[in-house]
Each structure stands twice: as C-alpha cells, then as structure tokens.
Structure 1
Amino acid sequence: MIRVEQWSPADGLSLEPNALVAAKEIDRNLALTAGPGAGKTEMLAQRADFLLRTGSCRYPKRILAISFKVDASQNLKARVRKRCGQELAARFDSHTFHAFAKRIIDRFRLVLTGRDALDPDYSIGKHRVQRRSITFDDMVPLAVQIVESSQIARNAIRQTYSHVFLDEFQDCTNAQYELIKACFQDTTVRLTAVGDTKQRIMGWAGALEGIFESYAEDFDAHPLNLYQNFRSEPRLRRMQNAMVHVMDPPAALDGADLPGDEGEIEVLRFDNDDDEAEALADSVRGWIDDEGVNPSEIAVLVSKQQNLYCQKLRAALDAKGVPYRDEDATQNLASEPVANLIVDFLLVAAGQRQPGPFQRLLDLVVFGRGLDQENEYRARSRWNRFVATVKQRLAAEEADLADLDDLRTIVNELLDIVGRDAVVALSSEYAHGDYLQLQIDATTDRAHTLMSEGDDPVTALASFSGDQAAKIMSIHKSKGLEFDTVVVLGVEKQTFWGDQDAERSAYFVGISRAKRRLYLTVCNERERPEGANNRWNVARTEHDEFVGYATPYL
C-alpha cells in the first residue's frame, strides 16, 4: 500500500490532466464524458489501481464496474488485472447490468413473493412461468424490486462496495438507472459514470435523454471531460475537432494543440456506384498487397442499409479475391457471443497455446462472476479439469472434432459447465424464442464444415472469426471499434437523411473509427439495388456539411 500523494499511473503511462484528476478523485461522484479513443477504459483501470493500491478502497470493500456488453466487462477486468495485479484485482467485480441484476436475484430471491416468487432452480427463458422461469427483460426490474423493498439487500450491497464504475453510461436505460439509484443513491458509495454523449446512438434501446445531466443532479456528480483522441493521427483528429466545434464548442481544442501532418484523408467522387465499387475494391486489394495492411484493419462503414448500399462492393471484392466479412448482425454468425464462446473453447481444446481465447474463457467462466477467493479457486479448478479432460479425449482419439456427433457432444458439455443461464445472459436476444439454440446449432455446423475440409483445427477455426478479413458494417455497429483504414461510403444527403443532430453524431462516430487513413465516397447516381423500395433515390447530392469538415485537411 502506498500513500495517495505517492501514486502515479501504473506501467509508467501518462494521463491527460482531467483523466489524472478523475483517477485520483476521492471525495466526489464523477460524471466523465469523453470522445472516441480518449482512453476511457484505461482511465477506469488506472482509477481502480489508485483506489486499491492506496487503500482508498479500504479492505475488504470492493469496486463494482457495470458495463453494457460482456466483452466490455471482460476487457475492463483484464485491464485492471494487468495494471494492479491479480491479488488486488480480485477485489474488482466487473459485470453487465443483467449479470449484476441476476446476482441480486440469486442472493435475495426470498424477498420476491406472490407472483414474483422464484424457486431455487429457476431459469431464464423465453417465457415467464410462475416460480420456474423469468425472461431476460424481467431481470433488472426484479432486482430493483428486491433492493427497494429489502433493507437487508440494500445494506448488503452498500457494505460490499465503496466505489462503482458505470461504463458507456450514455446508453443507460430507465430500468437500469433505477437499479443504480435504488442501490447507491444517498450513500457514501462513490460513483464514476463514464460515457460519450456524442456516441449516444442507441435511442431505440430506451437510452435516456440527458442521462448525464440527470445523474449529475441525482448524485451531485462533478462533471469532467476527456478530450484527447489517442486513436487517430493528427490530421484526422483536427477533422474530428472541427466537428466538435459545431457539436459541443466548449469541448473543442485549439488547433495548435493538435500539431503534426500524419494521417490521410481523401474524398472520392464518382459518377455512379459501379465506378465506386470497382475503385474501392482495387484500393482495398492494394492496401493489403502493396502496403501489407491486415485485412481486419480495413472497414467500410455505411450510415444505414449496408445490405443494399454494398451489394456492388461485395461483388467487386469477391471478383478480386479480397477477404471480407459483412458484419450485419442478422447475417454474421461470428459476431454472436455464443459463437465466440464455442470457437474460443475449441481453439483451446485443439491448440497447444491459445493465450487470447484461454484468457477470454477464464474471464467469462471464472473471473467474471464476482466470486469470493475460495469459490473462484474452485471454479477455476473445475474449469481446468474440464479443459484437460477434453484435451485428453482428443489426444487419445476418443473424440474427433471433425465428427459432427462428437463435436455436438463437446459443445453441449461446454455449455453445461458454463451454465445455461450464463450463456443466456451473453445477449438479450438469447432469452427470446429459439434464437440461442439456432445460433448454437449454426456455430456447431459451421465449425464442423471448416474442420472437415482437411486443415488442422486451429487454422480452420481461425478462419471462422474472420480475423483476416476486411469488415463491412453499419456505423452503429462500428461503435467502440477502431481500424487503420476506414471508408465512409455514401456521404450524401440521401444517406444521412434523418434528424441532423443524430446524423451528425453518427457521422462523428464513423470518422473517428479511423486511426491512420479516412476515405469518404460520394456518387452522383446509385442504381436502385435488389430489395430496395420505391423511396430509393437514384440521383445523389453530396452532403456539403459532412464533406466540408474534411476539406481543409485533404
């Protein structure tokens, strides 16, 4: 343990001034907003290191971090472990909102009575069945009910945690915010809410308007902003800053604070989308072959309807043999959390050393469950035995991953040891209908097909993830990702046609995905693609404002 004044950021990293203030804050709740690439996760990891290493989070108190996605929750836990070591990180619990809600329900289930009463072996399924099953959407409201009605539950939660981190807070829904207030409002627990109001493009999911303002008032939170984008080269950062001048003038930097000519921005104008597709396919091929850019570091982003806008581009990429993956959530199996779980395990079972998949599995199965030290040890021992047993069966040729029946057996064993409830909690869609089972079956069938083609299992499964493929996706799906080279396709008034504040925010998200190179494309005409309705505009007009942000930096 060290004194507060002796602490400095772990691993010799430097933080911008406001990030350092946030990391070392002791007395106040914080409302921290930041732009894309501003190092929000790193700031939280350094804050955890400060609180644990200085004893500001007094033993045996713990830190609770709540994220919206499983991968974000796991990444933050891993970052904290890297910064302050396994021993101190054992007092850092990182959950999604639904995982946190389920822990409350499991621990204080008996508070629920009447129609909400649950049996000890209740499950999470597609239908509400009295005492036996709840739906994914029931979890947070039931947790709120428990905390609001039981002083014992409230006290237990408040006595466990001295600090709470709320990541990507701009996407917090009403029900989730009610859970936070029920647990921690008017207490000595210190909250740090982190997010980016410029990225609040999830209104369809019930995200609150003005959530940071409401939170700041309800929790008397001190506002801070992080401005620096460490992801992008200076030329790209200046374009982004030009947008900030319009979107949030007080948050903009002086141009002198962003020196350097590194980075590349181009606007490509075409007569039609045939020329656009051919030129882009040639460019992507060249970036891969001539510059050695990893295909996974290239992304083509579309405001909306990428299945329509990218039909010709996909055909052109196919014709030139360019590996790509369409990230449309309705088509892309590899984006499914359960698919990643299954493939990670098969890689570990079949490969000699798979540190990435191995650590992701440990985070999900062991470290991500908020267990105490003894139960965490038992869970890890149980998991290690399972992995070793499957490896032995494969080595002894008692099971064959290329055999579909054997593969299905191993996948079912994996899901049983992880726990069906934990698997359902990976995605809100898994609690509805037979969607989860369809994804499990599709993943198993796809993995079987790949491993039956003669390559060794590790090579075959690596192709499943598409790590060696360029990405085609909507701007919304690109949120939180980063790429060496980004193409924003169709910067036209007919593409960004909605509410201009919302469209400006989405466009900002898109351009800020690029680390080194940004291309914007504009067409005079876009032929109506197959599947488009009569509202499709063939004639196109350049979006003067959006292209104008790039013009000074070409």
Structure 2
Amino acid sequence: MADILNELNQQQKNAVAAPSGPVLVLAGPGSGKTRVLTYRVAYLIAVLGVQPYQILAVTFTNKAAREMESRVAGLLGNKADGLWLGTFHRICGRILRREASYLPVDHNFVIFDSDDQLTLIKRVIKEKRLNDKDYRPRQVHSLISKAKNDLLGPDEFPIEGYRDEVIAEIYQAYQAYLIASNAMDFDDMLLYAATLLETYPEVRKKYAQRFTHILVDEFQDTNMAQYKLLSHLASFHKNIFVVGDEDQSIYRWRGADYHNVERFMRDYPDAGKILLEQNYRSTQKILDGAVAVINENANRTQKKLFTDRGSGEAIVVKEAYDDKAEAEYVVETIDRQARMGLANESDFAVMYRTNAQSRQLEEAFRRANMPCRLVGTQRFYGRREVKDVIAYLRLIYNPRDEVSLARVINTPPRGIGSVTEQQLNAVARQAEMSSGEVLLAMNTEKGAPFVEALERSAQRLLPFSKLLRGWREKLNRITLGELFDEIVLDTDYESYIADESEEDQDRWGNVLELRQVLLEYEDRDLAEFLEAMALMADQDTLPDSLDAPTLMTLHAAKGLEFPQVFIIGLDEQFLPHSRSKDDAESMAEERRLFYVGMTRAKNRLYLTRALRRRTPYGSYEDMIPSRFLEDLPEELIKGKFTHSYDTTETYDRSSYQWETPFGSTSGRKKPTPPKAVEQRFQPEMQVMHPTYGKGVVRKSILEYGDETVEVYFEGLGLKALVASMSSLQILED
C-alpha cells in the first residue's frame, strides 16, 4: 500500500493518509477526488486494519458507486468484501428495511417513482376538489419534496397564508396514501432515515458505533436531510471524511445546499481541511480563466488551480452577428478541424444554459450534414411540449390525423377520458368518418346525430370541437405565428407546463423557441412547415461508436470532460439566466455553473455570444455581453467579432472590443446605451397588444435606447415588452 501512495501527489497523499477525525477535502475540478476516496478506503483497510463492514462510503449516483467499487476491488480484491458502499437512497433503504418495526410501513415497502408520486398528488388535488391550475401538481410536489428535504413533516410545513394551509393538507393526505400503500417516495427514504436516527437513541447508537469511518462524495450537493443523516451516523466515532467543492455546487434548485460545507466546519471546528489544487485535465490558461471567474463569488475558500499540462492556447471569444451565425460558427469550426485532421468530431462538446438553445445548433449541424449527439434530453423536435404543439397544428391541417388527435384531445386535461375517446371512435367508425371529422361536425347542424349518439360524452367534447373548428376557419386568414398564439392561449398551455421550477420554465422556453421556427415559414403555408418538421424529427439515435460532437446543458456536463469545449450564449438573460438577476444566491450559482462548464475543457475553450437574437415574435433583441466575460484577464483570451455589416476581423484582447448597436466597448467597460428620447408609457395607462389584448401598464423604464414596459394582461399576468418591437398601442380614455 505504501507503494501505491507514492503514485499520488502530495496533496492527495495528505488526504488519503489524514489522521482519524473529521476531514474536509476541497477538491478542485479534475484533481482526482474519486482516486482520493478510493485510496482512502484502501488505506483504511490495508494500512489501518479497519474492517470493511465498519466503513460506510456514500455517493450521489449509481455510476459513481460502481466506479468506486470497481477501483477499490482493483486495489484490494476480495479484502473489501462487506464494505457499505452506495448512494444515499440505497444506504437509507438498507437501514430502513432492517429497522422497519420503527416505521409506519413494513419491511416490504415499495418505492414510488416520480410518475407514481405525481399521480398520487393529482388524485389528492382532485379529491379535495381543488383547481389544478391554482394548485399545479408538479409545483405542489416540488414544495412537498423541499419540505421533506428540510426534515419537515405535514405538521411542520411552513404556513404563511391560506395557500400554504391547503398545500399542508395535500401533503397530509399524500403521506397518508403512501403509508396506506405500504410505500414511500425517494424523499421519504432520507426523511425516515434521518428522523429514525434522531428519534431512537438505540438505533442511532447501533449504526454510529458500527461505522467507524464514513466517507462522502460530492458533499457540496447534500441537502439538510442528508447532512443530518451523516451527522447522526458519525456521532460516535466522528471519523467523517467528506470530499466536495463549493465552487461546483450547481443543484440548489434540487435542494442542494452548499452551505453544508460551512456547516461542517462549524459543527467540527477541529476538522482537518485539505485542498486538492493540482488539475490533471485542463491547460493552465483555461484554469486561470475559470479561477478568475469564480473568484468573484464571496463566501468560498480560495483555491489556486495548477497543472503540469502547460500553458496551452488562449481562450477563444467569438462574437457573432446573431444566434444563427453563432451556431454556424460552432459547426464550421468543428468541421474545419475535422477535415484538416486536427481533431475528431467526437472531441467537441457544445454547452448551453437551457435546452431551448439546442435548436439553432441542431439545425446548423443538420444543414452541414454533420450528426450530433444530445446528452440528457431529447432532440428539440422530439421534446414532449414541442410535439404537443406540432400535433395541434397537424390536426388543424388534417382532421383525419388520428395520432395527433389522440395526443392532444386531453392535453392539457379537459375532462376527456378514455371512455369518452372510445365512444367518439365508435361513433366515427359507424359513420365511416375519422374521429376528427366527427369532432368538427359536432358544432354544426349536421352534427346533431353525433351529439345525440355520444350522449353525455358530447358535453365533454363540444368545447374542444368548438376550438378545433375555430382554428380551422382562421387557418387561411391569419399567419402561422398568430395561429400558434391562439392555440397556446385558447388551451392555456403555458399554465399546463410552466410553473416556478427550472425544468418547467425550460419546457416553456422550448415552446417559445418553436414559435421562432414558425416565423421562418410566415411566407409559406402550414403544409410546408409540417413537412419540414417531419423531416427534422425523423432522426435515428446515434450509435455510441459514431464520431460526433456532443450537445448538452451546462448542468448535464458536470463530471464530464472533452478535448475541446464551446460554451454558447454568453449574454445577459442567458448566462447568467434572467431568473437570477434579482437574487444574489442565484447569481452566484450561475457563476458556478459557468465555472463548471469552463473546467470541462482539456485543451481548447471557446466562448461565444451574439450581438442580437431573434425573439419568438419575430423582432430582434439586442444582447448585452455576459458580465462573466468581463472577469477574464486580457492576457488569457483572443477572438473575433462580427460587425453588423458582416465583416470579420481578428484582434488581440489588448484592443478587444464588443461591437454593439450602442457603439464599441473595450476592456472591462460595459456599453453605455443612449437614452430613449421620450418615455411614452405611464403607470395605469390602458394599452392594446395584438396578441395579448387589452392591458394595464404597471411601470416603464428607459434602458438601452428603448423603453421597456411592464404590462398586466387579464388571464396572462405580467409581461415585459420592448416598446419599439411590441406594437403596443395606447388606448384613449
């Protein structure tokens, strides 16, 4: 074992052979944290003589657990048999089944997955006769999940108003159903385990004495329930060895609390603290750029990342004319290097903040006849919300499309169940018509026999029939964009998919991105659009062996590495995301997310942005460079910028300029936009919008050479509109 320790660098060696007691290892990206954890386990067994069954090693993913198990076996063989190694949920499951007599369920309990949980939440909401638009199942489930992660049962659910009281009642009923089903959800596994150890001293003593050493991976991603669980398990021997990096904490929206790193040092004031700063992945210029960005965050341990891989190439900053040109630059750069034999296509990864940003990239790769691989999500045209809207358009164009009808007839839910669908199909078969044709006829004089034949089911179908007929009648009188707006507004589709969660906001972004695609077909008809969509959606899954670049969100990139990395969308609103602008904690997490993306690159890093981006409503919005670009030292970057007249020039950072519609800005200065000449909109003013209808102005701000107007529209809520682009009209009193 001593020979194996010699393979480690000094910082790794210090961690692996650290004295017993609490130890915090802050591991920079690419610094070998998995190796440290693995060797620590081997060191405990082979050198200190600790029995494997006395060691608990906890990871966040099954993949990480399998990798660690394989590495330990490679070092020790069967000497590691009996080691407790697994994810938090797996470890909790083992404890809970052994101690089921203390629980409200027996040892044969089942785990409800995400779909099961949502089905149960919907059932409770329906039984309580609540409006599922006021109490959206996903949002309610998210609040219950957060409460459980904070170790709060139904009786402790925080109440600040009537709505919270109702959600607490839903939580109570949901939990009762779980217990009656001899089931628990994933959050219960943590909640029950932590509560069990806290409530019953004899159980806590049993496991705290058993595990003489506890090791934890990705500690910065733990939530309060996980932290308390670990504290109880370490309460006897206090030999807890945690590895993490607060700079890579990017899952706050899932309940992760990077403040647990600070909490650990506060709860264990004598804990050893070891930094792993030697990076084995990236070149020094990439590391220096990443460190310069993350150093702007407060309340963190400063780390100086270094590598033996050399200085490397400067970080490339590319400023494109618009988002389409940005995507084409990425594809052309990859294609050029691949054709010249400088790199394989699979050496490249393209990362972005939200899934909707993949659409321009996917289409640019398609135009270049270059396959690409998406990680962690469907291709744009295969995403559920995109397929829903396209199915509506297909049904409007062709009412005989039974597949599209089946997809949208009860999406969003409108009380049309399987029995009603079967009755509709039966009536259609008897009439030798399609179900869609019967639906269309129901709101006409000729439809009376169908209404009579469908009996009570007709009342559920008539409102949808009226919508479908209305859209069909307008098909040749309005633009595709206007038809899209009518579908989304008439079905209240935004409320159906979008709540406050990051995931659902991302899904709504995909819908808006589809509207932007529609604008490219404004001078053509719906048939051409649908034909193009069918061709784009007809993409086979790529074999793993195929040489192709990888597309993914920055969140999905965690734990991965690539020779060359593009991070696109370095504009305010995208990275950092607009949702983070008013919250310091969220902004700090956006910076950590960018840092994670930068440190995925081994040899070359490209950062791209666009001078302007097309909005879902056809106009172009001028972009402001991301504040994160300003943090990069001048000597680390080089790049190109594109003038509005589409001329490309090369420059060094010493003369680096962001060319914007407001003039040039060099170095670290931000552009100074001209003031709008006149502020036309005042609070309480009545206005009319061509899509949203009548509204009331709440406030107006002069910024970036234009007027941004916040307007409240009945049934739609608050919308922020750029005056020059929105066709907003002032209504006379």
TM category (shorter chain) comes to 0.5 to 0.7
Residue of structure 2 equivalent to 1:404: none
Amino acid at match of 1:272: D
Residues 233 and 516 in structure 1, CA contact (< 8 A), matched pair in contact too? yes
Partner of 1:166: 216
CA contact (8 A) 2:351 2:553 kept: yes
Which residue does the alignment assign to 1:523? Answer: 610
Letter in 2 for 1:14: L
The answer to whether the aligner puts 1:76 opposite 2:65 as a matched pair is no
Shift of the alpha carbon at 1:492? 1.6
* CA offsets 1:432-474 (integer angstroms, 9 cap, x no match): xxxxxxxxxxxxxxxxxxxxxxxxxxxxx99455764322111
What residue number does 2:320 align with? 270
1:195 and 2:195 are equivalent in the alignment? no
Distance (whole Å) between structure 2 residues aligned to residue 537 and residue 271 of structure 1: 11
Q: Structure 1: which 5+ residue stretches go unaligned? A: 335-460
How far, CA to CA, are the matches of 1:537 and 1:176 in structure 2?
A: 46
Correspondence for 2:91 = 100
**8 A contact 1:295–1:323 mirrored in 2:** no
Query: 1:76 deviation in Å?
Result: 1.7
2:78 paired residue number: 87
> Matched residue of 1:164: which SS?
strand
List per-residue Cα deviations over 1:356-391 (Å, max 9, x = no partner). xxxxxxxxxxxxxxxxxxxxxxxxxxxxxxxxxxxx
Matches within 5 A, 1:222-241: 222-241=272-291
Corresponding position of 1:321: 369
Query: What's the counterpart of residue 312 of structure 1?
Result: 360
Instruction: Calculate the aligned-residue CA RMSD, in Å.
Output: 3.0
Alpha-carbon offset, residue 152 of structure 1: 4.3
CA separation of 1:150 and 1:254: change in aligned 2, threshold 3 A: closer
User: 1:123 is matched with which residue: 90, 110, 125?
Assistant: 110
Shift of 1:235: 2.2
Distance 1:252 1:293, change over 3 A: same
In the alignment, is the contact (CA less than 8 A) between 1:23 and 1:47 conserved in 2?
A: yes
Distance in 2 (alpha carbons) for counterparts of 1:106 and 1:30: 30
Contact kept, 8 Å, 2:285 with 2:312, in 1: the verdict is yes
Q: How does 1:120-269 map to 2 (within 5 A)?
A: 120-125=107-112, 126=116, 128-130=178-180, 132-185=182-235, 187-220=236-269, 221-247=271-297, 251-253=302-304, 260-269=310-319
Q: Distance in 2 between matches of 1:533 and 1:508?
A: 33
SS of corresponding position for 1:538:
strand
Is the contact between residue 294 and residue 592 of structure 2 (CA under 8 Å) also seen in structure 1?
A: no
Task: Report the Cα offset of residue 160 of structure 1.
Answer: 3.2
- Identify if the C-alpha distance between structure 1 residues 14 and 494 changes in structure 2 by more than 3 Å, giving closer, same or farther: same
Give the SS at the match of 1:121. coil
Equivalent residue for 2:626, pick from 524, 529, 543: 543
| 1:23–1:50 contact (8 Å) kept in structure 2 | yes
Give 1:26's match in structure 2, choosing from 14, 19, 24.
19
Kindly provide the amino acid, as one letter, of the partner of residue 475 in structure 1: L
Shift of the 292–87 alpha-carbon distance from structure 1 to 2, 3 Å rule, reads farther
1:399 maps to none
Q: Distance in 1 between matches of 2:195 and 2:546?
A: 43
Quickly say closer, same or farther: Cα 1:274–1:550, change in 2 above 3 A: farther
Which protein has the larger Cα radius of gyration, Structure 1 or Structure 2?
2
Identity %: 25
On the 8 A contact 1:486/1:514 being kept in 2, the answer is yes
The one-letter code matched in structure 2 to 1:200 is: S
Per the TM alignment, residue 264 of structure 1 is displaced from its structure 2 partner at its CA by 4.7
User: Retained in 2: the 8 A contact 1:57–1:63?
Assistant: no
Q: In structure 1, which of residues 493, 501, 505 is the aligned counterpart of residue 572 of structure 2?
A: 493
Q: How many angstroms apart in 1 are the aligned matches of 2:543 and 2:189?
A: 32
CA apart distance, 1:245: 4.2
**CA shift for structure 1 position 96:** 0.7
CA distance in 2, matches of 1:515, 1:487: 12
Q: CA deviation at 1:98?
A: 0.6
Pick the aligned partner of 1:9 from 4, 13, 36. 4
Partner of 2:555: 476
- C-alpha deviation, 1:476, in angstroms: 1.4
Paired letter, 2:614: E
Larger helix share, 1 or 2: 1
Distance 1:549 1:25 in 2: 36
Q: Which amino acid aligns with 1:24?
A: A
Partner of 1:154, secondary structure, is: helix
Distance 1:551 1:259, change over 3 A: farther
Structure 2 counterpart of 1:79, one-letter code: R
Aligned-pair CA distance for 1:79:
2.1
- Cα deviations across residues 179-222 of structure 1 (Å, max 9, x unaligned)? 1122222x114111111101111111122251111112223422
Question: Are the equivalent residues in 2 in contact too, given 1:67–1:167 (CA < 8 A)?
Answer: yes
> Retained in 1: the 8 A contact 2:293–2:628?
no
Residues 63 and 93, structure 1, Cα contact 8 Å, conserved in 2: yes
Q: Distance in 2 between matches of 1:544 and 1:207?
A: 25
Give the CA deviation at 1:266. 1.0
Q: Name the aligned partner's letter for residue 203 of structure 1.
A: R
Alpha-carbon spacing, 1:86–1:289, altered in 2? closer, same or farther (3 Å)? farther
1:383-430 per-residue CA deviation (whole Å, 9 max, x = no partner) reads: xxxxxxxxxxxxxxxxxxxxxxxxxxxxxxxxxxxxxxxxxxxxxxxx
Q: Post-superposition shift, 1:105? A: 0.9
User: Which runs of 5 or more residues in structure 2 are unaligned?
Assistant: 121-177, 383-539, 638-733
CA contact (8 A) 1:237 1:258 kept: no
Partner SS, residue 207 of structure 1: coil
> Structure 1 residues 98 and 464, CA, compared in 2 at 3 Å: closer, same or farther?
farther
Q: Measured at CA, do residues 158 and 254 of structure 1 come closer, stay the same or move farther in structure 2, by a change above 3 Å?
A: closer
- 1:94, CA displacement in angstroms? 1.8
By how many angstroms is 1:515 displaced?
0.6
Q: 2:283–2:309: 8 Å Cα contact kept in structure 1?
A: no
The 8 Å contact of residues 244 and 251 in structure 1, kept in 2 or not, is answered as no
Q: In structure 1, how many angstroms separate the alpha carbons of the residues matched to 2:620 and 2:191?
A: 44
Q: In 1, distance between residues paired with 2:17 and 2:87?
A: 25
Task: Rate the CA distance shift 1:331–1:161 in 2: closer, same or farther, 3 A.
Answer: farther
Distance 2:327 2:316 in 1: 16
Question: SS state of the match for residue 274, structure 2?
Answer: strand
Structure 1 contact 104–143 (Cα < 8 Å) conserved: yes
Alignment CA distance shift 1:60-1:551 (3 Å):
closer
The 1:81/1:467 distance shift into structure 2, 3 A limit, reads farther
- SS of residue in 1 equivalent to 2:109: strand
Would the aligned equivalents of 1:61 and 1:159 in 2 still touch at CA under 8 Å? no
Aligned 8 A contact 2:52 2:80 in 1: no
Q: 1:533 to 1:547 in 2, by over 3 A?
A: farther
Equivalent residue number for residue 365 of structure 1: none
Measured after TM superposition, the shift of residue 241 of structure 1 is 3.1
Partner of 2:136: none
**How far apart are 1:310 and its partner, in Å?**
2.9
Separation in 2, partners of 1:129, 1:233: 54
Q: How much does 1:37 deviate?
A: 1.1
Instruction: Give distance in 1, aligned partners of 2:224 and 2:377.
Output: 25
Aligned residue identity for 1:58: V
Q: Post-superposition shift, 1:40?
A: 0.9
More contact order relative to length (CA 8 Å, sep ≥ 6):
1
Question: Contact 1:295 / 1:469 at 8 angstroms: preserved in 2?
Answer: yes
**Relative to 1, partners in 2 of residues 1:205 and 1:517: Cα closer, same or farther, differing over 3 Å?**
same
Matched residue of 1:269: which SS? strand
How far the C-alpha of 1:178 sits from its partner, in A, is 1.7
Looking at structure 1, the residues matched to 227 and 315 of structure 2 have their Cα atoms a distance apart, in angstroms, of 40
Q: Is the 8 A contact 2:56 2:213 kept in 1?
A: yes
Alignment of 1:375-390 (within 5 A): none
| d(CA) in 2 for partners of 1:524, 1:131 | 56
The one-character-per-residue Cα deviations of 1:493-539 (angstroms, maximum 9, x if unpaired) are 232243442222111111111011101112111122xxx489x9721
Runs of 4+ in 1 over 6 A off after TM superposition: none
Q: 2:52–2:83: 8 Å Cα contact kept in structure 1? A: no
- TM-score w.r.t. length of structure 2: 0.51
Match of 1:62 among 51, 54, 74: 54
